[in-house]
Homo-oligomer: A and B are copies of this chain.
């Protein structure tokens, strides 16, 4: 067995990767006292503290990293995403507020607007001279953005922004309740009596601290967490904005009301516009990952010092020496590493694609972003909950950090895309990607298409299965820690599940109603999305180890990757058994292997979480003092 001793710094170097310098810079800044947690602040004081922190960030050159260099930006999209993610180590209200201001609001101006918007706004947004909102979600429509009901009617050279009824009120809008002055409002564009679908408009909402005429603003009030962000509701009573308020990169309205767009299909234009906004989703995933690291760093340190129950005739046992405790923490650490590398790969891909990516690659990236976001944020919710329980009563006290981590990250599973909806998107992307053209990604649109055209293509990709079958009769010891086996098992599972979904949809659609067909297969559809992401995540982990120059770090990470792969197989072993990919004996051997890996990695638990390099101010908790 190789020597697994390694310094935390070596792991940090692997984790920090391509934007390591920037990560060091953010860590150094948020280590300042100013960026402290808001423990025991009331809502108003918390909001004020977050705004001050935001102003401190605005004095660096990072807020503009993602924008066009022509307007003071850095032209470094990957760096921009990285700088948001890093805020996930600290108060998540700051991460969200920064994300709203520079990611969603500024990002929409950059990516949906044109020169006139960039010229007028980007520098002011970057420098925080103009605070803004991203007003997409409505009371009645969150996931189904295509059916938003706010209207923007072209009338005498202007747009009239209107909230027709209660269900069209903009809901949960960050920066709306207190600080925002301008909002990017998503509304149905109507010109010449014709509805052209959802477009984005710049609408002033607050002037000199008071709601602009025709705009009604209310506060969403107390939330489970993230109370440093001033979420509010916005409604518009026939608010007139100039024609230039339309963010017109993908569509425009001429002075005479004529509508034009370089993208002919309404559907395709809509998804192209939405597609540019995946940066927010990626930032949420990255921040969720960093919050998870912080929770694990707390729980492992506590688990290493806390003792309970005496050995017969011996010392009091350290919590982390119990198998049950190792079982809670170590697979979660392994998955956190795995998801980190998948996230890093995603950021790198987005960065490298540039501003005019080929459509197929853009779609693939969107799907990957949706999937990684869903899996990472669910992992955050589960892991932070587990970390709280692993710290017992101490974990319940606010001073010990876990309550805020739990409360703040909770909404990540349903905002920037509800995870269930996102996994469906992933699955549909996979089904449609067999077809060489842009397809309708709406919820039910692909069903018939899939049913008619895809099945054979999907079910014939059986190369992975051959490897799995070849290794089926090998000795357990030769297989359980064999990376090829892990990879092929994940790949084969994905192909099989996807083929099964396609078959089910085809069978169900024959003579049936498309909603019923889709709905009866929904659990399989979600599963297809999940196992696809699992495969990408494992491959990203393997690639990261291959890049790792430090042999000791690589050796340790190989074991962590084993644990990630085997814990995943263990959790899903019912499927592998049902589908003849594991025998009963090997399935039990997988469970034993996870136990052995937990024991083997237990002495390295601390260095693994130290490698996360959580700034020490965010680990300042009394439960770690004694």
Give chain A's interface residues, CB within 8 Å of chain B.
39-40, 42, 137, 139, 141-144, 147, 166-167, 171-172, 220-225, 308-312, 314, 316-317, 321-324, 327, 381, 385, 388-389, 392-393, 395-399, 402-403, 406-407, 410-411, 413-415, 418-420, 442-445, 513-515, 519-520, 522-523, 526, 573-574, 577-580, 584, 587-588, 591, 595, 626
Instruction: Name A392's contact: one of B407, B418, B526 (CB within 8 Å).
Output: B418
Write out the residue numbers on chain B whose beta carbons fall within 8 Å of the beta carbon of A323.
519-520, 522-523
Q: Is A39's CB under 8 angstroms from B222's CB? A: yes
Write out the residue numbers on chain B whose beta carbons fall within 8 Å of the beta carbon of A381.
385
A555 to chain B, nearest CB (A): 25
Q: Is B143's CB under 8 angstroms from A309's CB? A: yes
A338 to chain B, nearest CB (A): 22
How many copies the complex holds: the figure is: 2
Q: Is B393's CB under 8 angstroms from A515's CB? A: no
Q: Is A396's CB under 8 angstroms from B420's CB? A: no
* 12 intermolecular pairs with C-beta atoms under 8 Å apart: A39-B222, A147-B310, A221-B397, A222-B403, A224-B388, A312-B514, A322-B519, A322-B522, A385-B385, A403-B407, A520-B595, A574-B577
A436 to chain B, nearest CB (A): 24
A288 to chain B, nearest CB (A): 14
Q: Is B519's CB under 8 angstroms from A166's CB? A: no
Bound-state CA distance A522–B577 (Å) is 24
Instruction: Return the chain B residue nearest A570 by Cβ.
Output: B574
Write out the residue numbers on chain B whose beta carbons fall within 8 Å of the beta carbon of A419.
389
Known: A324-B523, A327-B523, A392-B418. 8 other contacts (CB 8 A): A222-B397, A224-B407, A309-B444, A312-B445, A324-B526, A393-B415, A574-B577, A580-B584
Q: Is B309's CB under 8 angstroms from A144's CB? A: yes
Instruction: Return the chain B residue nearest A443 by Cβ.
Output: B309
Bound-state CA distance A522–B573 (Å) is 20
Write out the residue numbers on chain B whose beta carbons fall within 8 Å of the beta carbon of A172.
393, 396
Residue of A141, A317, A381, A410 most packed against chain B (CB within 10 A): A410
A416 to chain B, nearest CB (A): 11
Residue of A389, A513, A587 most packed against chain B (CB within 10 A): A389
Q: Is A399's CB under 8 angstroms from B577's CB? A: no
Q: Is A515's CB under 8 angstroms from B311's CB? A: yes
Instruction: Return the chain B residue nearest A571 by Cβ.
Output: B574
Instruction: Return the chain B residue nearest A444 by Cβ.
Output: B312
Q: Is B626's CB under 8 angstroms from A139's CB? A: yes
Q: Is A515's CB under 8 angstroms from B144's CB? A: no
Instruction: Name A311's contact: one of B137, B444, B526 (CB within 8 Å).
Output: B444
Q: Evaluate whether A393 and B171 lie within 8 angstroms (CB atoms) in the complex, with A223-B403, A224-B398, A406-B224 already known.
A: yes
A233 to chain B, nearest CB (A): 11
Bound-state CA distance A141–B445 (Å) is 59
Q: Is A515's CB under 8 angstroms from B398's CB? A: no
Write out the residue numbers on chain B whose beta carbons fall within 8 Å of the beta carbon of A578.
573, 577, 584, 587-588
Q: Is B407's CB under 8 angstroms from A515's CB? A: no
Write out the residue numbers on chain B whose beta carbons fall within 8 Å of the beta carbon of A167.
626
A414 to chain B, nearest CB (A): 5
Q: Evaluate whether A389 and B414 lie within 8 angstroms (CB atoms) in the complex, with A223-B397, A323-B520, A515-B312 already known.
A: yes
A389 to chain B, nearest CB (A): 6
Q: Is A393's CB under 8 angstroms from B142's CB? A: yes
Instruction: Return the chain B residue nearest A584 by Cβ.
Output: B578
Bound-state CA distance A407–B137 (Å) is 26
